[in-house]
Structure 1
Amino acid sequence: MEKRKIKIVDTTLRDGSHAVSHSFTVEQATAIAGGLDKVGVSLIELSHGDGIAGSSINYGMSKVPEMELLRAASKVVKNAKLTVLLLPGIGTIEDLQQAKDNGAQAVRVATHVTEADIAIQHIKYAKSIGMMAVGFLMMSHMASPEKIVEQAKIFVDCGADYINLADSAGHMVPDDVRARISALKNSIEIPIGFHSHNNLGLSVANSIAAVEEGASYVDVTCRGLGAGAGNTQNEVLCAVLDRLGYDTGVDLYGIMDVAEEIVEPIMQRPQIVNTASLMLGYAGVYSSFLLHTYRAAEKFHLNPRDILVELGRRGMVGGQEDMIIDVAFELSQQKTR
């Protein structure tokens, strides 16, 4: 029997950017992208952690302009699709055109799970200029399977090549994933992908649950490098999928070497489930909030757990990083009363 194919989408150079404070150099980007390409990864995503044009005071400044990184990476990526993330309201159609001009072949347009309609023009434009376009629903734990299907159909109708469901807070357990992926599989005709964070230590299990329910694209990062406690670890997932009889097209020894010899040496800290990242998953808070929360806690002499619980209580979503300081300030005022 022919093995079922799973496409591996590596986001080390995008989600991993959060974990290194957006400090990737040209040399690092080309080494990682070239290594991933040689071992058979299908899509290689490279952007600021918050997508193209994300470099800012609010989200963190990039050490090297991402268009320069894209241009350099495009020279070493020969087989995979070089991919960018775009969050409408941060990145624009002009930024998307610039990304294509610098070598991007695919774009994943990411919105909050209930706001797919703000991505319509970006997906249509990407298709009109010959790019692969993906509808990416963030914070998917915050919507029911029925709502997710409704939103996914908006992406389908405007020409998306596949739908990517993201557990941006690392809040879901496998049954949550199964309910959402199976609802999509039973309702839309285009492929489905899944993006997980490891804040509850469940990213590999959740990714396998997604695959078992029909997902054919899975997001990963080498050594799990990413926001919060990181993402599904590329080399681990490839090993597990191989054991389960799936075909990832990725050379297992090769991806282990990329993770150990190229990515691990540039990591600023081990990617672990510590107390703060565990709280992200427990409270259902966007994973890229972690470093911002640490800084705010230090500034206002607070326990970061208190900030994260309050962010979760308020239902904060990606793009509201600037509100973390406001929340921390309010909590500090309450402490002094």
Structure 2
Amino acid sequence: MLSLWDSWPLPLETAPPSSCSPPRSSCSARQRSCSCAHSVRPIVPPPATPRASPQYVHNSLGAHAVITNIDVTLRDGGYRNSFNFSPEYALAHARSSVASGFDWVEIGYRKGSSRPELTDGLTAHCDDEYIAAMAREVGPEHIGIMVHPGNLGEHDLDEAWSAGARLLRICFSPSDPRRSLECAQRAVEIGYVVCINVTRISTVAPKRLRRIINAVSGLGVTALYLADSNGSLLPDEVHALVESLISGHELAVGMHAHNHLGLALVNTIRAVDAGATWVDSAVLGMGKGAGNLVAEQWLAYLSQRRAGSDRFDLGSVLELSTRLGESVVEAAPRLDVTDMLLGYFDLSIEHSPRLAEIPDRHAQVRAAGLLAGADS
């Protein structure tokens, strides 16, 4: 399986316009891209938390599917407050999240984000003590972590498992695919539920995405996540992308939406309609840039429009929303002009500081267009 990557990396490619996607704006300025365990305090699990009854939805294939919901507030929201959630808040958040009906609480990164030297705080590192405390609070069956494989030491996966993590989400690295695949294989062997997250999906060419799927298939990975990190995809594009990937392999498809263009909710609905069965959201939408799919809106939509509405406790998630807003000032919803330009021009968050320094809005738009051309 790993031999598929002998010729990796492919030349950087941009996705050609899909024949099943609507045409983009013709505006010339808009450039787009169509293992021994470390000793930790043993977990004494609380009485088993009853798992909510499955939530079945209809998709465009006419099939019944179960939606798995992940609360990513403590991890993705950490980009807004330097991952500095207090231990007390993190515990209370996880407890309320599970009470609201989330299947998994992603409690942070293990050993840092893609730039670990710039990330600090409780949820940036997920040490064993923190994982164990969270697992004791809500049960290991609700605890997820995200990793960049290049940040991990030899025993990190074993130690995190021993501490109580059960869901492992791997940020797939195009520059080092072998390490990502080896990490996934090892995690499956340990017993994790494993998701592969393909970030900046709007810039990934179909050929490359298909190679990722072919390499991951057969490893025992549960889900392949499409992360719209740049917040640039449009609803019809999301539907066409998911629909094109939903068959021919055993992987579930997940959607991680960002809200730079205000489309996170509708994009997620379209993804689920096309067959996606794993969904990320964050309380108050707290996340990188303009933020993620707003959990309160998503659970309200599911409760109102989908079967299994008794699965969710809207009162609990709304209380959690209020608590987060009162406890973490950086959690306040935002839609910065710069974030909108990043979404429009399909640019990564790394360009944000440079654009934010430009005071004139017209000049800002021109600069974003030039950056998009350089990135394409």
Counterpart of 1:44 in 2: which secondary structure?
A: strand
Q: Which residue among 304, 312, 315 is the counterpart of 1:250? A: 312
How far, CA to CA, are the matches of 1:170 and 1:126 in structure 2?
29
How far, CA to CA, are the matches of 1:195 and 1:242 in structure 2?
20
Shift of 1:135: 1.2
How far, CA to CA, are the matches of 1:35 and 1:161 in structure 2?
26
Which sits farther off after the overlay, 136-145 or 110-119? 110-119
The answer to whether structure 1 residue 66 and structure 2 residue 115 are counterparts is no
Aligned residue number for residue 332 of structure 2: 270
Shift of 1:62: 1.9
Aligned residue number for residue 87 of structure 2: 26
How far, CA to CA, are the matches of 1:121 and 1:307 in structure 2?
40
Task: Assess, with a 3 A threshold, how the Cα gap between structure 1 residues 186 and 56 changes in structure 2: closer, same or farther.
Answer: closer
The answer to whether structure 1 residue 86 and structure 2 residue 137 are counterparts is no
Counterpart of 1:268 in 2: which secondary structure?
A: helix
Aligned residue number for residue 167 of structure 1: 228
Aligned residue number for residue 345 of structure 2: 283
Aligned residue number for residue 111 of structure 2: 52
How far, CA to CA, are the matches of 1:313 and 1:115 in structure 2?
26
Q: Which residue among 156, 159, 162 is the counterpart of 1:95? A: 156
Deviation string, structure 1 residues 158-184 (Cα, Å, up to 9, x no partner) = 221111111011010011111211111
> Do 2:303 and 2:312's aligned partners in 1 also have CA atoms closer than 8 Å?
no
Deviation string, structure 1 residues 13-35 (Cα, Å, up to 9, x no partner) = 10011011211111111111111
Task: Assess, with a 3 A threshold, how the Cα gap between structure 1 residues 21 and 126 changes in structure 2: closer, same or farther.
Answer: same
Deviation string, structure 1 residues 183-210 (Cα, Å, up to 9, x no partner) = 1112322211110100010000000011
**Alignment gaps of 5+ in structure 2:** 1-54, 58-65
Counterpart of 2:321 in 1: which secondary structure?
A: helix
How far, CA to CA, are the matches of 2:137 and 2:202 in structure 1?
37
Amino acid at match of 1:315: D
How far, CA to CA, are the matches of 1:314 and 1:246 in structure 2?
46
Task: Assess, with a 3 A threshold, how the Cα gap between structure 1 residues 57 and 107 changes in structure 2: closer, same or farther.
Answer: closer
Task: Give the 5 Å matches for 1:92-131.
Answer: 92-112=153-173, 116-131=177-192
Shift of 1:228: 0.5
Which sits farther off after the overlay, 79-88 or 62-71? 62-71
Counterpart of 2:171 in 1: which secondary structure?
A: strand
Counterpart of 1:157 in 2: which secondary structure?
A: coil
Counterpart of 2:172 in 1: which secondary structure?
A: strand
How far, CA to CA, are the matches of 2:130 and 2:291 in structure 1?
22
> Do 1:203 and 1:231's aligned partners in 2 also have CA atoms closer than 8 Å?
yes
Aligned residue number for residue 8 of structure 1: 69
> Do 1:169 and 1:281's aligned partners in 2 also have CA atoms closer than 8 Å?
yes
Counterpart of 1:259 in 2: which secondary structure?
A: helix
How far, CA to CA, are the matches of 2:339 and 2:117 in structure 1?
20
How far, CA to CA, are the matches of 1:310 and 1:72 in structure 2?
48
How far, CA to CA, are the matches of 2:338 and 2:181 in structure 1?
35
Question: Which one has the largest radius of gyration?
Answer: 2
Aligned residue number for residue 22 of structure 2: none
Counterpart of 2:72 in 1: which secondary structure?
A: strand
> Do 1:115 and 1:151's aligned partners in 2 also have CA atoms closer than 8 Å?
no
Shift of 1:145: 4.0
Task: Assess, with a 3 A threshold, how the Cα gap between structure 1 residues 124 and 269 changes in structure 2: closer, same or farther.
Answer: closer
How far, CA to CA, are the matches of 1:117 and 1:232 in structure 2?
31
**Alignment gaps of 5+ in structure 1:** 317-337
Shift of 1:128: 1.3
> Do 2:284 and 2:331's aligned partners in 1 also have CA atoms closer than 8 Å?
no
Q: Which residue among 191, 198, 203 is the counterpart of 1:142? A: 203
The answer to whether structure 1 residue 191 and structure 2 residue 252 are counterparts is yes
Task: Assess, with a 3 A threshold, how the Cα gap between structure 1 residues 114 and 154 changes in structure 2: closer, same or farther.
Answer: farther
- Normalization by structure 1: what TM-score? 0.81
- Normalization by structure 2: what TM-score? 0.73
Deviation string, structure 1 residues 279-302 (Cα, Å, up to 9, x no partner) = 221222234x37xx43x678xx54
Amino acid at match of 2:286: L
Deviation string, structure 1 residues 61-90 (Cα, Å, up to 9, x no partner) = 225752143232112113752111111223
> Which protein has greater RCO, CA pairs closer than 8 Å, 6+ apart?
2
Aligned residue number for residue 331 of structure 1: none
Task: Assess, with a 3 A threshold, how the Cα gap between structure 1 residues 177 and 55 changes in structure 2: closer, same or farther.
Answer: closer
Aligned residues: 307
Shift of 1:266: 1.3
How far, CA to CA, are the matches of 2:343 and 2:179 in structure 1?
26
Shift of 1:216: 0.8
Identity, in percent, stands at: 24
How far, CA to CA, are the matches of 2:116 and 2:174 in structure 1?
25
